[in-house]
Amino acid sequence: MTWKHFFTSSIGRKFIMGFTGIFLILFLIIHAGINSCIFLNDHGVTFNKMAHFMSHNWIMRFLEIGLFAGLIAHIIQGLSLTFQNKKARPVEYYFNQPSKNSKWYSRSMGILGTLLLLFLVMHLSHFYVDTKVALYSGDKPHDLFDEMKEVFSIKWVVILYLVGVVSLFWHLYHGFQSAFQTLGINHKRYTPLIKTIGTVYALIICILFALMPVAIHLQWIN
Amino acid sequence: MEHYNMNLTLKVWRQKNNQSKGKFETYPVNNISSEMSFLEMIDVLNEKLIEEGNEPIAFDHDCREGICGMCSMFINGQAHGPWQQNTTCQLHMRAFKDGDTIVVEPWRSAAFPVVKDLVVDRSSFDRIIQAGGYISVNTGNAVDANAIPIDKKDADDAFMAAACIGCGACVATCKNGSAMLFVGAKVSQLALLPQGAPEKESRVLNMIAQMDKEGFGNCTNTYACEAECPKGISVSNIARLNAEYLKAGLTTEEK
Ligand code: SF4
Ligand code: FES
């Protein structure tokens, strides 16, 4: 068993999905946590301080590389698995009732993931690109909170963000417990616990993320 | 339950051989007893087809008592039809009402090519078993069954995994055409027992390598397989398969 052999096998590739998935789940906690500083309603002072730390601290910058590597691996592996899985059934059933045996969101990880990818392109172009440009041109400190207010002042952007968050919810709702199964953990006592934690996690993260554009758009905070 | 007779319309997939295209044919079937099994209903139809000088519908079957796993049919959008933990031969016509239309298709999977009509070639499963689904023992006197103590829970879990009849309903149902429930069961039934322990590593590595070669898809944990498995094989066997593979794959020194 070479490394290549391991990572190109079906379970090796699932392992990549599960492992990077858990890594991204952890990242979202930090992301949602820091962004929640806007709810302090202090004109974004705390939030901007945190954002400044994240973009200037070298440990964070280093972790950022890992984040992108994990994200890209998750995306590429996910897309390629989805295409390969399609090929495993070249002729579709004429009459199929998948709802009798599984949940729609568990069957829709590819589609949900694609929606998230599209969302991510928009999201990065809104916030990430400008932050980096400001970092390297470096004349004046970048006011990320200001930028949030500007972006979320547009109604259709807020709606697109909400669509993104809803996709994220279902993706996480299935993905959280699925990752543990993939890593080989299925236990009479722990699996129900993992499922509950996953549900609570997905709810909290998504409610927080949904509140951000809404709260700014409706000027609950400024 | 009260006995009744029914008239049905059957929409069946007909395909001459692996090369031909295949299409649905519609047949009326009359006077079917609610106490017949689904296969008996097809027998009735086939006798009629033969009498009329037509080609009967080819389908797999053997034991007709739910233990061999041959009777592969996708009935009204579900593997083995509407009943839970049930094979086609054990599906009774009382599951249907007078006037129903029933759609019958073969398993659809790249790894299970259609041989004819409803018959598919499941030898990919055999090749997975050949790759490692066995234990190597020297012949000689039979060892006393209770000579090796086995934890009750392990024995029970192994027994439950061993209930898999290799029918392929898991593959047929899975949206990814994944065979992981089948392979999970076959790896588990041996990995859990001391007799299977010495070949644990090579077994799981070889069986997965063969599974990948056969063109099955990759599991995304929809758990549709467990819901449709006639023997109620649990997806915890897939988790065990994953764990066994990760352990072996990440630690083995063999190239
Ligand atoms: S795991 Fe269940 S559905 Fe799959 S082959 Fe075995 S008995 Fe059939
Ligand atoms: S014919 Fe043997 S299980 Fe149905």
Q: Select the residue from A11, A16, A85, A189 to test the B interface by mutation, using most B Cβ atoms within 10 A.
A: A11
- The answer to whether the CB of B127 is under 6 A from ligand 2 is no
Residues A8-90+109-217, CATH architecture: Up-down Bundle (1.20)
Q: Where are the domains of chain A?
A: 8-90+109-217
Whole-angstrom Cα distance, residue B166 to residue B183?
9
For residue A147, give Cα distances in angstroms to A38, A130, A131, A139, A162: 12, 9, 10, 17, 18
What pLDDT score does B241 carry?
98
Type of residue found at A140: K
Instruction: List the beta bridge partners of residue B186.
Output: none
Q: Is the pLDDT of residue A31 over 90?
A: yes
Q: Is the pLDDT of residue B254 over 90?
A: no
Instruction: List the beta bridge partners of residue B13.
Output: B24
Look at residue A215 and give its three-state secondary structure: helix
pLDDT band of A136, cuts 50, 70, 90: confident
Asked if the Cβ–Cβ distance from B249 to A11 is below 8 Å, we say: yes
Between A129 and B181, name the one with better pLDDT.
B181
Residues of chain B with CATH 1.10.1060.10: 123-138+149-251
What pLDDT score does A129 carry?
83
Task: Report the pLDDT averaged over residues A170-197.
Answer: 97
Q: From the alpha carbon of B165, which atom of ligand 2 is closest?
A: 3
What pLDDT score does A205 carry?
98
What pLDDT score does B65 carry?
96
Give me the residue from B74, B217, B255 closest to A88, CB to CB: B217
As given in the structure block, the two tokens for residue A73 are 């691996």
Exposure string (b/e) for A24-56, b if CB count within 10 Å is 16 or more? bbebbeebbebbbbbeeeeebebbbebbbebbe
Residues B123-138+149-251, CATH architecture: Orthogonal Bundle (1.10)
Task: Tell me the torsion sign for CA atoms A113, A115, A121, A125.
Answer: negative
- Structure confidence by residue, pLDDT tens digits, B122-152: 999 999 999 999 999 888 888 887 889 999 9
What pLDDT score does B168 carry?
98
Residues of chain B with CATH 3.10.20.30: 5-105
Ligand nearest to the CA of B70: 2
Q: Which of B189, B196, B200 is nearest to B137 (CA)?
A: B196
What pLDDT score does B81 carry?
98
Q: What is the ipTM of this complex?
A: 0.93
Q: Is the pLDDT of residue A193 over 90?
A: yes
Task: Report the pLDDT averaged over residues B19-40.
Answer: 97
Q: Model-level pTM? A: 0.95
Q: From the alpha carbon of B173, which atom of ligand 1 is closest?
A: 3
Q: What integer best gives the mean pLDDT of chain A?
A: 94
The percentage of chain A sitting over the pLDDT mark of 70, rounded to a whole number, equals: 99
What pLDDT score does B235 carry?
98
pLDDT band of A131, cuts 50, 70, 90: confident
Ligand 2 pocket: which of B38, B42, B59, B71 to mutate (most atoms <8 Å of CB)?
B71
For residue B214, give Cα distances in angstroms to A64, B40, B47, B110: 39, 33, 36, 8
Whole-angstrom Cα distance, residue B149 to residue B156?
13
Contacts (Cβ under 8 Å, ≥6 apart) of B43: none
pLDDT band of B253, cuts 50, 70, 90: confident
Whole-angstrom Cα distance, residue B116 to residue B114?
6
Q: Rounded to the nearest whole angstrom, what is the distance from the C-alpha of residue B72 to the centroid of ligand 2?
A: 8
Q: Is the pLDDT of residue A212 over 90?
A: yes
Q: What integer best gives the mean pLDDT of chain B?
A: 96
Task: Report the pLDDT averaged over residues B198-208.
Answer: 96
Q: Is the pLDDT of residue A143 over 90?
A: no
Q: Which of B228, B76, B229, B217 is nearest to B160 (CA)?
A: B229
Task: Report the pLDDT averaged over residues B173-196.
Answer: 97
Q: Which of A48-52, B53-57, B227-231 has the lowest mean pLDDT?
A: A48-52
Which residues in chain A are closer than 8 Å to B82, comparing Cβ atoms? 100
What pLDDT score does A24 carry?
97
Task: Report the pLDDT averaged over residues A90-112.
Answer: 97
**DSSP characters for B184-232?**
HHHHHHHHTSGGGGGGHHHHHHHHHHHHHHTT-----S--HHHHH-TT-
Place of tokens 């990440």: B250
CATH assignment of B5-105, among 1.10.10.1110, 1.10.10.60, 3.10.20.30, 3.90.1200.10? 3.10.20.30
Q: Is the pLDDT of residue A123 over 80?
A: yes
Q: Is the pLDDT of residue B46 over 70?
A: yes
Whole-angstrom Cα distance, residue B71 to residue B65?
10
Whole-angstrom Cα distance, residue A83 to residue A191?
29
What pLDDT score does A139 carry?
65
Q: Is the pLDDT of residue A137 over 90?
A: no
Q: Is the pLDDT of residue A135 over 80?
A: no
- Structure confidence by residue, pLDDT tens digits, B162-174: 999 999 999 999 9
What pLDDT score does A125 carry?
93
User: What's the length of chain B?
Assistant: 255
Task: Report the pLDDT averaged over residues A105-109.
Answer: 97
Task: Report the pLDDT averaged over residues B17-24.
Answer: 95
